[in-house]
């Protein structure tokens, strides 16, 4: 069992700007504005949030998924 990581580096696909951000644990973050170019990022098709699409680490709910598809957090 791996520990859940709650911070991820988001990298803008438009300008390459990267910033470490805290990930919410109670909801998916669907929008994120780049701090450099101000582009509004949204998840790629099939991803639940911007961290899964543009982050260095997937969101806590995806990290918690086990092979059976269970989404309960294991802390």
pLDDT at 67 over 50: no
Specify if 39 maps to a domain: yes
Supply the range of the domain harboring residue 15: 7-62
Residue 44 lies in a domain: yes
Say if residue 4's pLDDT is above 70: yes
**pLDDT tens digits, 14-61:** 999 999 999 998 888 999 999 999 999 999 999 999 999 999 999 998
Q: Tell me the mean pLDDT in the region 10-15.
A: 98
Tell me whether residue 2 is in a domain: no
Q: How confident is the model at residue 69 (pLDDT cuts 50, 70, 90)?
A: low
When divided into structural domains, the chain yields a total of 1
Per-residue pLDDT at 74 exceeds 70: no
Cβ neighbours of residue 26 closer than 8 Å, sequence gap 6 or more: none
CA angle 11, 16, 18 (to 5 degrees): 40
Cα–Cα dist 39/4, whole Å: 28
């Amino acid at each position: 069992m791996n520990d859940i990581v709650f911070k991820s580096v988001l990298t803008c696909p438009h300008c390459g700007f990267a910033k470490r951000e805290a990930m919410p644990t109670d909801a998916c973050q669907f929008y994120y504005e780049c701090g450099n170019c101000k582009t509004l990022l949204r998840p790629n098709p099939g991803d639940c949030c911007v961290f899964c699409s543009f982050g260095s680490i997937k969101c806590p709910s995806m990290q918690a998924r086990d092979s059976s598809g269970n989404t309960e957090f294991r802390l």
